[in-house]
Amino acid sequence: MYINGCGAISPQNTCGDIFPFPVSNSRTTALACREPDYKLVIPPKVSRRMSRVVKMGVTAALTALKEAELETVDAVLAGTGMGCMAETEKFLCAITEDNENYLNPAPFIHSTHNTISSQIALLLKCTGYNQTFVHGPASFESALIDGMMLAEEGIHENLLIGGIDEMTPNLNRILKRFGLWKRQPIPNLDLMESQNKGTLAGEGASFFLLQQQPNTTTYARLADVAISPQLRHQSDEIAYINDFLEKSKLSPDHLDLCLLGKNGDSRIDSSYKALENRIQQTCPTSAYKHLCGEYATASAFAMWLACHCLKSQQVPDYLAHHDPVGDHINSVLIINRFINNRISLILLCAHQ
Amino acid sequence: MAGIKPGWEISRTALLGLIAAREAIKEAGLSAVQARGCGVVSANSVGGMDRSERFYPDFLTNPSRGKLRSVKGHECGFSTDFIASQLELHGFCTTISTACSSSANSIMFGARLIKHGKCDRILVGGCDALTRFTINGFASLKILDPEGCRPFDENRSGLNLGEGAGFLVLESESSVKAQQKTPIAEITGYANTCDAFHQTASSPDGDGAYQAMRQALQIAGIAPAQVDYINAHGTGTKNNDLSEGRAIEQLFHDSPPDFSSTKPFTGHTLGAAGAIEAVYSCLALKEGLIFPNLRWQSAMTDLAITPNLELKRGQAVRHILSNSFGFGGNDSSLVISQC
């Protein structure tokens, strides 16, 4: 399948047309999205009723659609780890504070996980397939797998697929108590070198317009996606990656860039070490979470980055500062490890 | 009953799911090796909300308060991972959440994974516990009937909430043949569409529901006349039953098959409903049953069709259409057939 349009709302300057975008570096413990003026994208009458995460998702989706010069699509697929957190919290607070009386139903209605994909369908009058996956770090990849199956089934030609997650003050506090974040603010570009406990909180919405045929707006070809079963040993991970690449008639030697889901938390990054050492023997690796922070669907942002690298044939300094990347970028592999011994893989290839 | 220590603070959603999933895996007679390779596609509407809502009141008084263990399972994917790890199912694992159609979608997704050769066997279904969150949510929408719900009745006045879990083990045709197993039933058709009409209401003409049923029959390769029973979504709300009834009329014209909603027996189990009703459909196929639509008294003025009112036994039931519709106009239909 070909990625013929994409859009991202992220903590970086990803709303403009410039790539490499001017990088944003701030001393913080949480990276919040740099949000555009939604009024310019979503009709204000509609936008008023949307929660922030829905606006983020809808805007990213509409950007992808516009880039591909389409009016609507045949299917909308979303991945979200936490769904519509702000509305969920709003309704939870209302139940607690109002003692279950005179509740406004609006936050309940908009708390449902599939609100984002539904609102996109509503706006585009898309009456086709509509799906929402909610499986932590596997959410976005699940949606991609579904999208690739839809394309093979041949009923749906134009697909919008995205990954969306929002951070809220309360969720941030709760995850802080779980020990997920850095104790002290650090410049986000220093995240990968920090090597102590905790990472930076993040959020974002990235949407992709996928079609069976390439055209003048094509970014890249989505060659394959996979979520592994539980792998017992680290050596199984390498074998799994080799098998995965072989299906696309590739080997690790053919890769030009590998984006890893490391997040600067020494406990997480050490689990990537063996994999990273092995891959670095044949292909430059880089991390991306110093740009977007940690969240369930951060891999969708990685895919947005990879799309732009492949289309512009450039890898910005803030992405590959360790190893030189070859002259021509043909293939990018995105690897994420989950804490339950699974990995997810997204393989993108240059079009042309 | 689930065999889990109370101190773990595991969400009731996950516990309900574990009990049903364990039963399904046992009945499927998977070998230890097969179980290890088996994947899970589960579904729910609000994750571990039953625990999160106990955490919040304390947390809101002071952000350093509230038992952290209670929110560990808040994410929808938690119960799926929990079931997979408890039953040692190490294959592909994911979760779907599309409100009340969630587990019809997880069955559909699992069936397609098998069709595409991505796995040989997969546990599919969904689970949802009653929560203050959902009870208050539906109450605020003023669509809860304080009495027993009356789907497809002119005087229906809302739904009853329920809780539960339903799981099925789907196995590929080649795997079933190689082992000479006798399956309970076959998923022959499925479709998901979007009404794109309103965030919570279905379109009055039931366009999304009509398209979901029509496309599911098309995938199954059967004509509407071959459907022996429709297990309707039939929540008992003014909006759903009108929209679904019109969709049935549009597809089946003057001669619809027997149809009924089994929600008066179970309540609306939200994310688990599609899977629980799929299990009922399997039972209907196996035992030749057609279920009654409880508490129905008067025909809807806007519909010419009326639901089946008696438990019919000894019927030739070959194909069942099972409907599940959710917020966001998410409409799913499954065709479950005799093998």
Site of tokens 């990685």: A302
Whether residue A63 lies within 8 A of chain B, CB to CB, comes out as no
Whether residue A339 lies within 8 A of chain B, CB to CB, comes out as no
Instruction: Sort out which chain B residues have CB atoms less than 8 A from A115's CB and list them.
Output: 199, 327-328
| B13-24: average pLDDT | 98
Residue B325 is assigned to a structural domain of this protein: yes
pLDDT of residue B8: 83
Q: Are both A259 and A186 inside the same structural domain?
A: no
Condensed to tens digits (0 to 9), the pLDDT of residues A324-333 reads 667 899 999 9
**Euclidean distance between CA atoms A67 and A15, whole angstroms:** 12
Whether residue B247 lies within 8 A of chain A, CB to CB, comes out as no
To the nearest whole angstrom, how far is the Cα of B62 from the nearest Cα of chain A? 11
Please, what is the angle between helix A115-124 and helix A52-67, to 10°?
50
Whether residue B57 lies within 8 A of chain A, CB to CB, comes out as yes
* B4 confidence band (pLDDT: 50, 70, 90): confident
Q: At residue A312, does pLDDT exceed 90?
A: yes
Instruction: Sort out which chain B residues have CB atoms less than 8 A from A126's CB and list them.
Output: 194, 196
Return the closest-CA partner of residue A117 out of A61, A36, A38, A190.
A61
pLDDT of residue B24: 98
What positions of B carry a catalytic annotation? 100, 233, 268
Condensed to tens digits (0 to 9), the pLDDT of residues A102-143 reads 899 999 999 999 999 999 999 999 999 999 999 999 999 999
Report the number of distinct structural domains present in chain B: 1
Instruction: Sort out which chain B residues have CB atoms less than 8 A from A173's CB and list them.
Output: 63
Q: Are both A114 and A224 inside the same structural domain?
A: no
- Find residues 85-124 of chain A whose CB sits inside 8 Å of chain B: 91-93, 95-97, 100, 103-105, 108-115, 117-119, 121-122, 124
| B55-68: average pLDDT | 95
Asked if A118's CB is within 8 angstroms of B75's CB, the reply is: no
Mutation site, A46, A113, A344, interface B, largest B CB count within 10 A: A113
Report the number of distinct structural domains present in chain A: 2
What are the tokens at A301? 């942002």
What is the SS3 assignment for A68?
A: coil
Mutation site, B90, B101, B199, interface A, largest A CB count within 10 A: B199
Which domain-ending residue is among A192, A211, A230? Answer: A211
**Euclidean distance between CA atoms A51 and A33, whole angstroms:** 14
To the nearest whole angstrom, how far is the Cα of A217 from the nearest Cα of chain B? 28
- Over pLDDT 90: what percentage of chain A? 91
Q: Are both A189 and A238 inside the same structural domain?
A: no
Condensed to tens digits (0 to 9), the pLDDT of residues A236-272 reads 999 999 999 999 999 999 999 999 999 999 999 999 9
| B250-260: average pLDDT | 95
Which domain-ending residue is among A180, A211, A242? Answer: A211
**Angle CA A10–A158–A64, to nearest 5:** 25
Q: Residue A137 CB: number of other CB atoms within 10 A?
A: 26
Residue B50 is assigned to a structural domain of this protein: yes
CB B134 within 8 A of CB B161: yes
Which residues span the domain enclosing B165? 9-337
**Euclidean distance between CA atoms A82 and A79, whole angstroms:** 9
Instruction: Sort out which chain B residues have CB atoms less than 8 A from A81's CB and list them.
Output: 75, 77
- CB nearest A149 (choices: B116, B208, B327): B116
User: Is the peptide bond prior to A20 cis by the omega test (within 30 degrees of 0)?
Assistant: yes
Helix H or strand E segment including B258: strand B258-260
What is the average pLDDT score of chain B? 96
Whether residue B330 lies within 8 A of chain A, CB to CB, comes out as yes
pLDDT of residue B113: 98
* B199 confidence band (pLDDT: 50, 70, 90): confident
- Find residues 168-187 of chain A whose CB sits inside 8 Å of chain B: 170, 173-174, 177-178
Condensed to tens digits (0 to 9), the pLDDT of residues B114-147 reads 999 999 999 999 999 999 999 999 999 999 999 9
Rounded to whole angstroms, what are the CA distances from B300 to B143, B152, B221, B306, B321?
18, 7, 32, 8, 22
Residue B1 is assigned to a structural domain of this protein: no
Domain of B205, CATH number, reads 3.40.47.10
Sign of dihedral through CA atoms B30, A142, A269, A32?
negative
pLDDT of residue A323: 59
What are the tokens at A132? 């929402």
- Find residues 120-149 of chain B whose CB sits inside 8 Å of chain A: 132-133, 136-137, 139-141
To the nearest whole angstrom, how far is the Cα of B77 from the nearest Cα of chain A? 4
- CB nearest B199 (choices: A122, A128, A149): A122
| A300-316: average pLDDT | 96
More confident position, B325 or B199: B325
* B234 confidence band (pLDDT: 50, 70, 90): very high
pLDDT of residue B117: 97
What is the average pLDDT score of chain A? 95
- CB nearest B98 (choices: A114, A153, A173): A114
pLDDT of residue A166: 98
Q: Are both A166 and A294 inside the same structural domain?
A: no
C-alpha of A70 from chain center: 22
Q: Are both A136 and A199 inside the same structural domain?
A: yes
Q: Are both A168 and A230 inside the same structural domain?
A: no
| B281-303: average pLDDT | 98
Q: Are both A138 and A175 inside the same structural domain?
A: yes
Instruction: Sort out which chain A residues have CB atoms less than 8 A from B207's CB and list them.
Output: 127
Residue B4 is assigned to a structural domain of this protein: no
Which residues span the domain enclosing A251? 220-349
What are the tokens at B272? 């688990």
CB B145 within 8 A of CB B159: yes
Q: Are both A200 and A240 inside the same structural domain?
A: no
**Euclidean distance between CA atoms A102 and B312, whole angstroms:** 44
- Find residues 23-52 of chain A whose CB sits inside 8 Å of chain B: none
Q: At residue A320, does pLDDT exceed 80?
A: no
Q: Are both A116 and A154 inside the same structural domain?
A: yes
Domain of A345, CATH number, reads 3.40.47.10
Asked if B132's CB is within 8 angstroms of A100's CB, the reply is: yes
Closest residue of A to B326, CA-based? A114
* B50 confidence band (pLDDT: 50, 70, 90): very high
pLDDT of residue A321: 60
Q: Are both A9 and A100 inside the same structural domain?
A: yes
Which domain-ending residue is among A211, A238, A269? Answer: A211
pLDDT of residue A326: 72
Whether residue B195 lies within 8 A of chain A, CB to CB, comes out as yes
- CB nearest B199 (choices: A118, A131, A178): A118
pTM of full prediction above 0.90: yes
Exposure on the CB side of residue A39, measured as CA atoms within 13 A: 1
Whether residue B71 lies within 8 A of chain A, CB to CB, comes out as yes
Q: Are both A183 and A250 inside the same structural domain?
A: no
Q: Are both A155 and A251 inside the same structural domain?
A: no
| ipTM entry | 0.98
pLDDT of residue A99: 76
Mutation site, B36, B78, B96, B210, interface A, largest A CB count within 10 A: B96
